[in-house]
């Protein structure tokens, strides 16, 4: 989950490293640090472990002392081993200062290695697992090995998934990077007189138009204007160049105070892009050119299992309910971290759909690897088309939401939901479960989604008072039923991660089975209650909460004139067909969490203890 950046070139590496780290800071912001090889050939390291201020403080520190070098590495940390402080910040160096490394991932046998190092008299200066890499590789360097061999031999002693980048005084004109397993990616690029490595393509966009993604078991050496790839046995490899999507450059806040409000506001466009090329209003068809399975192959699917984590899992839950109800295929959604370890029965007739905006979430990738071994066909619903998930899946369905910078997912959820809805119509049509007229009707309805979401966003003001009120509480309950359940779960997740208020998402029908005991004036309930086939049921649940002294805030349809007489506050969404309602109820829940977070003085873009891409399990 940490961010890495490396540079070799003809100008001072320091500002380039800091700039690169800014682009990957969303992966972790507990600390920031850089190491550069100075003109005298020694390694100079500067780091700051000041939580979110780290990168700014590092910037001031290196500017003040005019650090200079043409070769360097940088790191932004999401803490796994060891508290957030200066000592635990990366890069880490060997005792003799011959090597400096930055690491992303977890070393599972770190305690054993650490004990061996301590027994051999090495004094460790941090609590991190990462530091052992510097000492082990330093030992190999001391016995005459090259930097590349030293790193490969070192990771040969380690268990776990990781990416490591390093500089050494013995080879002052290069940076070496390697990847072992699925601990997030490492991307390599070059231009005429420089070369770069980064955790994410977005950090290289201003430097190069083509990148190479390092695979597990590969190591790369970058030098001024060039790079070379090898396998762990030292055999040279031809890297496959991929053109970068320069539209990612648009990742600027513009007129918005933060990325989250910008990304919430961008949701109508995100949906529009997710339907472009699929929803054909002229023919009334739903096209899915990315899926080249034959009709027979699609008909032979006897089960759909959707997997993902966090917000992507919630999008997947919505997708499962759509696939089951429209395409009539048994479908469920499951957390990848559970799926990967429970030895599930899946096979060649199971369609696995992985939902992952980054395509780099460790648990989701592991679940996908497992499914590949079982011979299941896999579709990845994702934003990052060059990601690891895209390489594992048989088919990818890009969501085209555009780069999401805010740690809290918003537009990628709505675009994933749109894509899954389209997929369910596509599957239903190919399996002849619905006819041409029904597809036409659904296509027409989906095409109204961007304007429906835009008009829901326009009512933004309605959530402000509710948010101010909710900010006073320490516990909240979110209820939904059917396709509104994943939305209630997502609303609660957003409130937890942004406002740090404890919030539970629950199926409304489950309340009587225990949770009712919590009801009272000290815990407001937010309900997703648009006009749908479960409305009457929700009404009963709402009455039960009210009868026990609980306050209720309800998201209701415009035409609803009942709930405003029963609940304490309503937030209205436009009337629309039932299968589009989850898209609309989602929006006020995002706004509620965002506004409550601001009310409490939280930073909506960088919530504490989190990172955008979770590349460790
Ligand atoms: O990149 P992914 O979609 O695989 O990420 C999965 C989760 O980490 C992510 O959805 C997370 O729950 C959200 N950023 C929370 O807002």
Q: 161-210: per-residue pLDDT in tens?
A: 899 999 999 999 999 999 998 767 899 999 999 999 999 888 998 899 89
Per CATH, which fold does 264-447 belong to? Rossmann fold (3.40.50)
Q: How far is the CA of 415 from the centre of ligand 1 (A)?
A: 13
Kindly give, in sequence order, each residue whose CB lies less than 8 Å from that of residue 142, ignoring residues fewer than 6 positions away: 96, 98
Whole-number Å distance, alpha carbon 444 to ligand 1 midpoint, is 30
Q: List the residue whose alpha carbon is closest to atom 12 of ligand 1.
A: 310
* 297-350 tens-digit pLDDT: 999 999 999 999 999 999 999 999 999 999 999 999 999 999 999 999 999 999
3-state secondary structure 217-280: CEEEEEECCEEEEEECCCCEECCCEEECCHHHHHCCCCCCCCHHHHHHHCHHHHHHHHHCCCEE
The beta strand positions in 508-590, using DSSP E, are 525-528, 552-557, 569-573
| Ligand 1 pocket list (CB less than 6 A) | 308-312, 356-358, 361, 364, 407-409, 497, 613-614
Q: Give the confidence band of 439 by pLDDT, cuts at 50, 70, 90.
A: very high
* Burial class for 39, CB neighbours closer than 10 Å (0-12, 13-18, 19+): exposed
* Residue ranges per structural domain of the chain: 3-255, 264-447, 455-599
Q: What are the residues whose beta carbons fall under 8 Å from the beta carbon of 64, sequence distance 6 or more?
A: none
Strand pairing partners for 197? 6, 188
pLDDT per residue as tens digits for the range 585-614: 999 999 999 999 999 999 999 899 888 888
User: Nearest C-alpha to atom 15 of ligand 1 is from which residue?
Assistant: 408
Segment 101-122 mean pLDDT: 93
Per-residue pLDDT, averaged over 364-386, amounts to 94
Testing ligand 1's pocket by substitution, the residue of 26, 361, 367 carrying the most ligand atoms inside 8 A of its CB is: 361
Report the pLDDT value the prediction gives residue 462, as an integer from 0 to 100: 79
Residue 519 structure tokens: 């009801």
CATH of domain 3-255: 3.60.20.10
Whether the domain at 3-255 and the domain at 264-447 fall into the same CATH topology: no
Atom of ligand 1 minimally distant from the CA of 407 = 14
> Residue whose CA is closest, atom 4 of ligand 1?
356
pLDDT at 385: 87
493's tokens = 């997740």
Tokens matching residue 431 = 């399996």
pLDDT tens for residues 482-492?
Answer: 999 999 999 99
Q: Which amino acid residue places its CA nearest to atom 6 of ligand 1?
A: 309
Residue 353, both tokens = 């759909």
Distance of CA 60 from the midpoint of ligand 1 (Å): 32
Mean pLDDT, all residues of the chain:
93
Put the strands of the sheet holding 395-398 in their side by side order. 331-335, 303-308, 350-355, 377-382, 395-398
CA distances 243 to 55, 274, 386, 435, Å, are 29, 21, 10, 40
What are the pLDDT digits (tens) for 234-263?
A: 999 998 888 876 555 546 788 899 999 999
Ligand 1 centroid from CA 294, angstroms: 32
With 70 as the cut, is the pLDDT of residue 405 above it?
yes
Task: Determine the residue of 185, 311, 593 to mutate for testing ligand 1's pocket, defined as the one with the most ligand atoms within 8 A of the Cβ atom.
Answer: 311
Q: Are 429 and 439 in contact (CB under 8 A)?
A: yes
Active site residue 243: no
The alpha carbon of 123 is separated from its chain's Cα centroid by a whole number of angstroms, namely 36
Beta partners for 554?
Answer: 527, 570
Residue nearest to atom 10 of ligand 1 (CA): 311
Point out the catalytic residue in the list 2, 377, 528, 576.
2
> Nearest to residue 175, comparing CAs of 16, 17, 7, 46?
7
Q: Quick one: pLDDT at residue 254?
A: 83
Closest atom of ligand 1 to CA, residue 357:
3
H helices within 25-76, ranges in order?
Answer: 54-64
Q: What is the pLDDT of residues 124-141, one digit of tens each?
A: 999 999 999 999 999 999
Atom of ligand 1 nearest to the CA of 310: 12
Predicted pLDDT of residue 251: 63
Helices (H), 431-567: 436-447, 449-458, 461-470, 485-499, 535-547, 563-566
Mapped onto helix, strand or coil, the DSSP state of residue 96 is coil
> Do strands 92-93 and 99-105 pair parallel, antiparallel, or not at all (unpaired)?
antiparallel
Please identify, in words, the CATH class of the domain defined by 455-599. Answer: alpha beta
In Å, how far from its chain's centre is CA 52? 19
| 576 classed as catalytic | no
Under 8 Å between Cβ of 287 and 277 = yes
Report the atom number in ligand 1 closest to the C-alpha of 612: 14
Closest C-alpha to ligand 1, atom 3: 356
pLDDT score for 81: 85
User: How many Å lie between the centroid of ligand 1 and the Cα of residue 612?
Assistant: 7
Neighbours of 132 (CB within 10 A): 27
Q: Which atom of ligand 1 is nearest to the CA of 494?
A: 16
d(C-alpha 594, C-alpha 314), whole Å: 18
What distance in angstroms lies between residue 334's CA and the mean position of ligand 1's atoms? 14
| CA 253/CA 490 separation, integer angstroms | 24
Helix (H) / strand (E) element for 134: namely helix 131-142
Q: How far is the CA of 314 from the centre of ligand 1 (A)?
A: 10
Do the beta carbons of residue 74 and residue 19 sit within 8 Å?
no
pLDDT value at position 523? 96
Out of 47, 262, 494, 612, which one is annotated catalytic?
612
What is the average pLDDT across 462-472? Answer: 92
Average of pLDDT values for 534-544? 95
Report field, pTM of the whole predicted structure over 0.75: yes
DSSP 376-438: -EEEEEES-TTSHHHHHSSEEEE-------SSS-SHHHHHHHHHHHHHHHHHHHHTTSS-HHH
Candidates 27, 78, 202, 312: which one to mutate for ligand 1, based on the most atoms within 8 Å of Cβ?
312
Residue 201: what pLDDT?
Answer: 86
Q: Give the integer Cα–Cα distance in Å for 88 and 131.
A: 9
Distance (angstroms) between ligand 1 centre and the Cα of 309 equals 6
User: What pLDDT shows up at residue 282?
Assistant: 85
Q: What angle do CA 384, 301, 281 make, to 5 degrees?
A: 60
CB 289 within 8 Å of CB 391: no
Query: What is the mean pLDDT of the segment spanning 499-512?
Result: 96
Q: Give bridge partners of residue 334 from the DSSP assignment.
A: 307
CB atoms < 10 A from the CB of 234, how many? 11
Distance from C-alpha of 427 to C-alpha of 433, rounded to nearest angstrom: 9
Mutate to test the pocket of ligand 1, among 310, 362, 499, 605 (most ligand atoms within 8 A of CB): 310
Q: Alpha-carbon distance 33 to 103, whole Å?
A: 12
- Please state, for a pLDDT cut of 70, what percent of the chain lies above it: 99
């Amino acid at each position: 989950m940490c961010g890495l950046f490396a540079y070799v070139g003809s100008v001072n590496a320091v500002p380039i490293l800091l700039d690169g780290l800014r682009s990957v800071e969303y992966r972790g912001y507990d600390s920031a640090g850089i190491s550069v090889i100075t003109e005298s050939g020694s390694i100079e390291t500067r780091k700051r472990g000041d939580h979110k201020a780290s990168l700014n403080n590092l910037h001031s520190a290196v500017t003040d002392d005019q650090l200079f070098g043409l070769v360097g590495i940088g790191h932004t940390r999401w803490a796994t081993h060891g508290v957030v402080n200066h000592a635990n910040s990366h890069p880490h160096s060997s005792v003799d200062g011959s090597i400096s490394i930055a690491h992303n991932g977890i070393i599972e046998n770190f305690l054993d290695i650490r004990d061996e190092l301590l027994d051999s008299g090495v004094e460790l200066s941090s609590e991190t697992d990462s530091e052992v890499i510097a000492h082990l590789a330093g030992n190999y360097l001391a016995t005459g090995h090259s930097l590349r061999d030293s790193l490969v031999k070192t990771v040969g002693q380690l268990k776990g998934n990781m990416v490591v980048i390093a500089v050494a005084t013995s080879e002052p004109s290069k940076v070496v990077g390697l990847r072992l397993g699925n601990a997030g990616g490492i991307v390599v690029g070059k231009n005429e007189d420089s070369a770069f490595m980064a955790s994410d393509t977005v950090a290289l966009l201003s430097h190069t138009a083509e990148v190479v993604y390092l695979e597990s078991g590969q190591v790369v050496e970058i030098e001024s204007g060039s790079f070379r790839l090898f396998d762990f046995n030292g055999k040279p490899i031809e890297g496959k160049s991929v053109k970068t999507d320069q539209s990612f450059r648009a990742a600027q806040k513009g007129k918005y105070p933060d990325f989250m409000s910008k990304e919430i506001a961008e949701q109508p466009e995100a949906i529009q892009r997710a339907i472009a090329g699929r929803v054909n209003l002229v023919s009334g068809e739903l096209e899915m050119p990315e899926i080249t399975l034959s009709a027979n192959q699609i008909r032979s699917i006897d089960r759909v299992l959707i997997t993902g984590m966090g917000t992507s899992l919630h999008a997947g839950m919505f997708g499962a309910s759509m696939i089951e109800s429209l395409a009539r295929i048994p479908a469920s959604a499951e957390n990848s971290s559970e799926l990967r370890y429970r030895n599930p029965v899946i096979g060649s007739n199971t369609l696995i759909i992985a939902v992952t905006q980054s395509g780099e979430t460790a648990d989701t990738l592991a679940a996908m690897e497992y499914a590949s071994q079982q011979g299941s066909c896999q579709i990845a619903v994702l934003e990052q088309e060059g990601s690891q998930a895209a390489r594992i899946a048989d088919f990818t369905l890009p969501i085209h939401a555009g780069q999401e910078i805010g740690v809290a997912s918003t537009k990628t959820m709505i675009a994933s939901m749109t894509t899954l809805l389209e997929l369910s119509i596509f599957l239903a049509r190919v399996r002849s479960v619905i006819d041409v007229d029904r597809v036409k009707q659904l296509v027409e309805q989906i095409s109204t989604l961007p304007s429906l979401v835009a008009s829901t966003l326009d009512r933004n003001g309605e959530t402000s008072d509710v948010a101010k009120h909710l900010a006073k509480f320490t516990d909240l309950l979110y209820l939904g039923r059917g396709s509104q359940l994943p939305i209630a779960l997502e609303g609660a997740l957003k409130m937890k991660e942004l406002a740090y208020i404890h919030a539970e998402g629950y199926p409304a029908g489950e309340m009587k089975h225990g949770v009712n005991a919590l009801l009272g004036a000290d815990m407001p309930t937010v309900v997703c209650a648009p006009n749908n086939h479960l409305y009457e049921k929700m009404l009963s649940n709402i009455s039960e909460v009210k009868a026990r002294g609980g306050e209720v805030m309800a998201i209701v349809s415009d035409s609803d004139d009942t709930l405003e007489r029963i609940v304490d506050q309503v937030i209205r969404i436009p009337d629309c067909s039932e299968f589009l309602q989850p898209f609309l109820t989602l929006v006020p829940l995002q706004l509620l969490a965002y506004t409550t977070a601001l009310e409490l003085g939280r930073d909506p873009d960088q919530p504490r203890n989190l990172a955008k891409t979770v590349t460790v399990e």
